[in-house]
Amino acid sequence: MKASGLQKNILTMALLLIIAVLLINGLRLEHEDKRESSLHEYYLETYEDAGSVNLVETILLNYRAYDTFGEVMVLYIAVAGILILGEEEKEGEKR
Amino acid sequence: MKSPIVKTAGRALTPFVLLYGAYVTLFGVLSPGGGFPGGVIMASGVILILVSHDSEKIKSLVENIEWFDTFGAFAFLLVGLGGLFLSGAYFANLWPRSPVMLILLDIVVSLKVFAGTVALFVYFFKQEVEPSSTE
């Protein structure tokens, strides 16, 4: 399908437009839900219990330590994967 | 890459970079920072030395640092399980009033990120110095 330069541009423009509309709608809905949700009030009320001044750090390591654990695991798997994939020449002459 | 300027700059800068990384990690509870950025800053200090110096001693020092990466990840898990066994809830805050848990997790995370980044760099550095036999 030999599309000329112009057709390609129009195609990409249309595609980007659709993606933009979807994103903006998504963000708009996301914003509305936030107002009713009381999670941030809960954070603000009880973050003294964690004993730290830095709310972001408290959320990251205390309220949502499970997510941070997932993040640590993702990083670990990434590093381990690269090192494992690159292992083969070690077997060759070094050992 | 091994010019004396880079060598002396590396030798002069690395302790301060490592110190700053440790500061960012340990003060993550009070000021912005924490485990992840602190670990990477410390890793950049070590990489500065790795790049500028070629001595075998440094190479042997960082040779099998990926084990610290593994140790850091499992230490994070142990802290979570510790919370589960000691007080019922996974990743529970064992010292509610004090930031002990936060600092502990910060240190573990920064150790892991530090070791992982240095291990990655050592691997890529080795590729660049002696390309793998397949080429």
In a domain, B132, yes or no: no
What is the domain extent for residue A16? 1-37
Average pLDDT, integer, range B87-106: 81
How many angstroms separate the CA atoms of B93 and B110, rounded?
19
Whole-number pLDDT of residue B62: 75
Task: Identify whether the C-beta of residue A52 lies closer than 8 Å to the C-beta of residue B102.
Answer: yes
**How near does any CA of chain B get to the CA of A20, in Å?**
32
Same domain (yes/no): A30, A42: no
**Does residue B68 have a pLDDT over 50?**
yes
Same domain (yes/no): A27, A16: yes
Same domain (yes/no): A10, A25: yes
Whole-number pLDDT of residue A46: 78
pLDDT tens track for B24-66: 998 888 888 888 899 999 999 988 888 888 777 777 777 778 8
Residues of A in contact with B96 (CB under 8 A): 49-51
**Does residue A93 have a pLDDT over 80?**
no
Structural domain count of chain B: 1
How many angstroms separate the CA atoms of B106 and B117, rounded?
16
CA of A2: how far to CAs of A5, A7, A9, A13, in Å? 9, 10, 13, 18
**Does residue A29 have a pLDDT over 70?**
yes
How many angstroms separate the CA atoms of B66 and B86, rounded?
30
ipTM of predicted complex: 0.80
**Does residue A95 have a pLDDT over 50?**
no
In a domain, B133, yes or no: no
Band (B135; pLDDT cuts 50, 70, 90): very low
Residues of A in contact with B100 (CB under 8 A): 51
pLDDT tens track for A55-66: 888 888 888 888
Average pLDDT, integer, range B4-32: 89
Same domain (yes/no): A32, A42: no
Q: Which of A79, A85, A89 to mutate to test the interface with B (most CBs of B within 10 A)?
A: A79
Structure pTM? 0.75
Same domain (yes/no): A6, A17: yes
Is B119 an interface residue toward A (CB < 8 Å)? Answer: yes
In a domain, B35, yes or no: yes
Same domain (yes/no): A44, A68: yes
Nearest CA in chain B to A84: B123
CA B68 to chain centre: 9
**How near does any CA of chain B get to the CA of A26, in Å?**
30
Of B91, B99, B120, the CB nearest to A51: B99
Structural domain count of chain A: 2
